Amino acid sequence: LRDNRIELVRASWHELSISVSDVSLSDEGQYTCSLFTMPVKTSKAFLTVLGVPEKPQITGFTSPVMEGERMQLTCKTSGSKPAADIRWFKNDKEVKDVKYLKEEDANRKTFTVSSTLDFLADRSDDGAVVSCRVDHESLNSTPQIAMQVLEIHYTPLVKIISSNSWPEEGQSIILTCESKGKPV
pLDDT in tens, 154-167: 999 999 999 988 88
The number of CA neighbours under 13 Å toward the Cβ of 158 is 4
The C-alpha angle 115, 123, 157, rounded to 5 degrees, equals 165
Q: In what order do the strands lie in the sheet with 144-149?
A: 93-95, 85-90, 129-135, 144-149
Collapsing DSSP to helix, strand or coil, 144 comes out as: strand
Query: How large is the average pLDDT for residues 123-132?
Result: 96
Which residues are within 8 A (CB) of 170 and not within 5 positions of it... i.e. 6 or more apart? none
Q: Which domains, and CATH codes, for the chain? A: 4-45 (no CATH), 55-152 (2.60.40.10)
> How many other β-carbons are positioned within 10 Å of the β-carbon of residue 102?
14
> How many other β-carbons are positioned within 10 Å of the β-carbon of residue 131?
20
User: What confidence score (pLDDT) does residue 34 get?
Assistant: 87
Query: How large is the average pLDDT for residues 50-69?
Result: 95
Residue 59 confidence (pLDDT) above 80: yes
